[in-house]
Amino acid sequence: MGLRRKAGYSILVDPDAGTTEWDRTTCGHCNAVIRVPGGKTLADVAGWCWFEQRAICLPCKAAAVKAKGCVPFLKKIERQEARERFRVAAGLN
């Protein structure tokens, strides 16, 4: 590997137009590296988690569409609900 770049490194290509081209970033859900080839934008090669306001890879985007939401967030809620049910069942509430 040649030059190693920090994840999230970005280049401001046209400050006047307010467009930021991400050269390389990581998926907010699975930490997969998302590479943006020259001439492409992040939107071409990745999805966007509206919930966390961060880029996600296409497989995670597909999963999010299927789950109708942010998968890590839904999992967190599920765990919280399971804990609540346990607390109620155990008479802790």
- CA 75/CA 61 separation, integer angstroms: 15
Q: How far is the CB of 57 from Zn ion (least distance, A)?
A: 4
- Of 69, 44, 66, 68, nearest to 57 by C-alpha is 44
Q: Is residue 34 near Zn ion by the rule CB under 5 A?
A: no
Among residues 52, 78, 81, 84, which is the contact residue for Zn ion, using CB under 5 A? 52
Question: Please, which residue, 12 or 30, has the CB nearer to Zn ion?
Answer: 30
Residues of this chain that bind Zn ion (CB under 5 A)? 27, 29-30, 32, 49, 51-52, 57, 60, 70
